[in-house]
Amino acid sequence: MSGPFGLPLPLLTDSYKTSHAALFPAAQKAVAYAEFRHGFGNDSSDERMVFYGLQYIVDQYINRQWTAEDVEMSSHFFSTHNTGHTAFPFPKELFLKFISENNGHFPVRIEAMAEGSVVYPHTVVMQITAEREYSGLVTYLESVLLMAWYPSTVATLSRRSKTAINEYYRTSVDENMRWTLDSRMHDFGFRACTCVEQSMLGGAAHLLSFGGTDTLTAAYYVQQRLNGGRAVATSIPATEHSVMTAFGSERQAVLRLLEVYGDGVVACVMDSYDYARALEEVLPAVATAKLERGGVLIIRPDSGDQVETVLMGLRAAERVFGADVNGLGFRVIRGAGVIQGDGVTTKSLARILAAVHAAGYAAQNVAFGMGGGLLQKVNRDTMSMAVKLSSVTYASGETRDIMKFPRAGSEKVSLPGCFSVHADATQHGAPVVYRQCDAPDARNLLEVVYDCGPVPGRQWDSFDDVRRRVDEQWRCFPPRINAVSALLLAHQKAVHIRQAQDVDGGAAFA
Per DSSP, the residues of 188-252 read: --GGGSSSHHHHHHHHHHHTTT--EE--HHHHHIIIIIISTT----B---B--HHHHHHSSSHHH
According to the model, what pLDDT value does residue 164 have? 96
371 and 430 housed in the same domain:
no
Q: 505 pLDDT band (50/70/90 cuts)?
A: low
Residue 22 belongs to some domain of the structure: no
β-sheet with 185-187: strand ranges across = 212-213, 185-187, 366-370, 336-340, 296-300, 265-269
CA-angle at 390, arms to 384 and 394, nearest 5°: 155
CATH of the domain at 482: 3.20.140.10
Q: Do 359 and 254 fall into the same domain?
A: yes
Q: Are residues 135 and 175 in the same domain?
A: no
Rounded Cα distance, 383 and 152, in Å = 9
391 confidence band (pLDDT: 50, 70, 90) = very high
Count CB atoms within 10 A of the CB of residue 374.
29
In a domain, 74, yes or no: no
Q: Which of 332, 309, 311 is nearest to 322 (CA)?
A: 332
pLDDT band at 410 (very low <50, low <70, confident <90, very high): confident
Among the three residues 326, 351, 375, which one is the final residue of a domain in this structure? 375
Same domain, 122 and 247: no
**Residues 338 and 409 reside in one and the same domain:** no
* Same domain as 307, residue 245: yes
How far apart (Å, rounded) are the C-alpha atoms in residues 307 and 303?
A: 11
Judged against a pLDDT cut of 60, whether residue 211 lies above it is answered with yes
Q: Is residue 225 part of a domain?
A: yes
Cα distances (angstroms) measured from residue 392 to each of 9, 118, 371, 398, 416 = 26, 29, 44, 8, 10
**What is the domain range of residue 188?**
162-375
Would you state the pLDDT for residue 277?
Answer: 97
pLDDT for 357: 98
The reported pLDDT for the residue numbered 472 is: 98
Report if residue 345 sits inside a domain.
yes
Mean pLDDT of the chain: 96
Band of residue 500 on the pLDDT scale cut at 50, 70, 90? confident
327, 343, 375 — which closes off a domain?
375
**Could you give the CA distance from residue 458 to residue 89 in angstroms, rounded to a whole number?**
36
Distance CA 396, CA 394 (A): 5
End-to-end CA distance of the chain, in Å? 43
Are 404 and 340 found together in one domain? Answer: no
Q: What is the CATH number of the domain that holds 265?
A: 3.20.20.70
Q: Are residues 59 and 166 in the same domain?
A: no
Q: Is residue 155 part of a domain?
A: no
pLDDT at 502: 76
Mean pLDDT of 264-292: 97
Asked if pLDDT for residue 173 goes beyond 80, the answer is yes
pLDDT band at 202, cuts 50/70/90?
A: very high
Q: Are residues 341 and 394 in the same domain?
A: no
pLDDT tens-place string over residues 68-121: 999 999 999 999 999 999 999 999 999 999 999 999 999 999 999 999 999 999
The pLDDT of 479-493, averaged and rounded, is: 96
* 384, pLDDT greater than 90: yes
Question: Looking at the structure, do residues 220 and 347 belong to the same domain, yes or no?
Answer: yes
Closest CA to 406 of 507, 503, 506: 503
Residue 408's pLDDT is 78
d(CA 270, CA 189): 20
- pLDDT surpassing 70 at residue 507: no
Whether residue 510 has pLDDT greater than 60: no
Q: What's residue 1's pLDDT?
A: 57
Task: Identify the domain boundary among 353, 375, 397.
Answer: 375
452-458-464-466 Cα dihedral, nearest 10 degrees: -40
Mean pLDDT of 406-414: 83
Residues 345 and 393 in one domain: no
Residue 496: inside a domain, yes or no? yes
Q: Answer whether residue 97 is part of any domain.
A: no
- Given a contact cutoff of 8 angstroms between Cβ atoms, the answer to whether 145 and 339 are in contact is no
Domain count within the chain: 2
The structure's pTM equals 0.96
pLDDT exceeds cutoff 90 at 199: yes
Answer whether residue 391 is part of any domain.
yes
Q: Is residue 382 pLDDT above 80, yes or no?
A: yes
**Average pLDDT score over residue span 142-159:** 98
Residue 403 to residue 489: CA distance in whole angstroms? 12
Residues 169 and 310 in one domain: yes
